A and B are shown apart, each in its own frame.
Chain A
């Protein structure tokens, strides 16, 4: 048991770093995912992950596989797309889904083109799917910083974020924070996706953001426990995915996301608000 569960993390430095990196990533991206889901923006994460590509690719093109330029590039591209789409939806008749689709498609096409300018498809795979097993200290520091910034921002703007989700018009009637908090939140989404793409790749980092959140929705009907539960599910998925990857020589990123996927499917079935329980409960009811 010890050999199976604990030894890989004790014996190998790369496993320790992978674990630390993915757990740090969960710490910030799972709560962000909960709010994305509650704001019905689950697919926004996916779109944003694509939107990051040209920035990351530009960094890659200029400096090779270096984390800092790729991160900064991704951040810039993500912020441009998020702010652009957000601004179009806030200030024109077009809704956010359409404007975001437009912006991210442009961005994605640009990204693929930039990657093809230099690298082979192997490089593209690397950018898209990441390598959590090859995290260096620099990348770890970056992820830790992102986690810290995200948690701090969430703590400060928590009340406004909840109010903006629950009753945006009310928030606008008592405060001017409504629009800023929306953009701050989009910024956090970008930040976490950029943090994730080194570990899991642009395509799969959104999985760690959304799947634990979606799973947690079936277990609780309050925001705070939902965030904590999403965190726990994310942690478990990271550990399980890394172990799977280690023992069965599977790619680590997909293994982590698939573990989270299993947790999601299990939650649909077994959660108190899931399929089975709500079926059972329908047979019995109280008098009042």
Chain B
């Protein structure tokens, strides 16, 4: 089996001392294609931010294989669409890892950008101002930027949101192309049918990992049920999570199930004795 592109060791990410991703252990194999599935607030986007390094871990580490570059497509919120830029300017941002701050964009680079736009079906959109693009067109342009980045690890956060069926088909085809090129791809997705159809691996999150492995296994009804029962709310009176001796030897999916036994503030576990009056339970 190929070596690991990403290694999580006891990775805990969150905000204001409340964990959004709790004690994640495991490895993402180089060349694997993984869907990240879970309810809103289950830590999917947070995990991606942690991998990229935009969010510093509260505990543990996320290790990237040496030399591997990451291309990250966040949810669109921070892109300023009113900024006066053309599609080609947006896609050319993907040249940053190669050219950096001062490197000149060569004719070859411009060709790369043009080919990327062609690959996402946006040939001829180069000069269009980005504020005139539709949601789907913008998403295609952002995929083109990921293409230009030419990274070994590709993280896509809900790329299929508000995108029509044809665009989804095209974007999935691109993802499969990356998979075929032995790049490591992780995609946050909500459409379970789509995940079952196209993604060999799945990480099912509910703040803590519920299941991680082959999609068929991970998305079994009992796992989905457990994921659905997770309590999204933070509790200010939740007990502090004390560090406990963890065995890091295996670092594999197998011992994920060992977690949860000693973390009392994780709700939805059958053996969970600790309860809150205020804790709403999604069913």
Q: Taking beta carbons and an 8 Å cutoff, which residues of A are in contact with B?
A: 38, 156-157, 159-160, 162-163, 165-175, 177, 217, 220-223, 226
Contacts and interface: CB of A to CB of B under 8 A. Distances in A.
A168 B96 CA distance: 13
A95 to B, nearest CB: 14
B138 to A, nearest CB: 11
B146 to A, nearest CB: 10
Given A159-B96, A169-B54, 16 more contacts: A38-B84, A163-B93, A165-B80, A166-B83, A166-B93, A167-B79, A167-B93, A170-B145, A173-B52, A173-B53, A173-B70, A173-B71, A174-B96, A175-B100, A217-B84, A222-B84
Interface secondary structure of A, over-half rule: helix
Nearest to A176: B53
A175 B96 contact: yes
B124 interface: no
8 contacts: A159-B101, A160-B101, A165-B80, A168-B78, A169-B54, A170-B145, A174-B97, A222-B85
Interface residues of B, number: 26
Nearest to B130: A166
Contacts of A177: 101
Interface in B67-83: 70-72, 74, 78-80, 83
B129 interface: yes
Contacts of A157: 101
Contacts of A167: 78-80, 90, 93
A250 B232 CA distance: 66
B80 A156 contact: no
A156 B102 contact: yes
A223 B96 contact: no
A177 B74 CA distance: 18
A20 B269 CA distance: 75
A169 to B, nearest CB: 4
Given A156-B101, A173-B52, A223 B85 contact: yes
B86 interface: yes
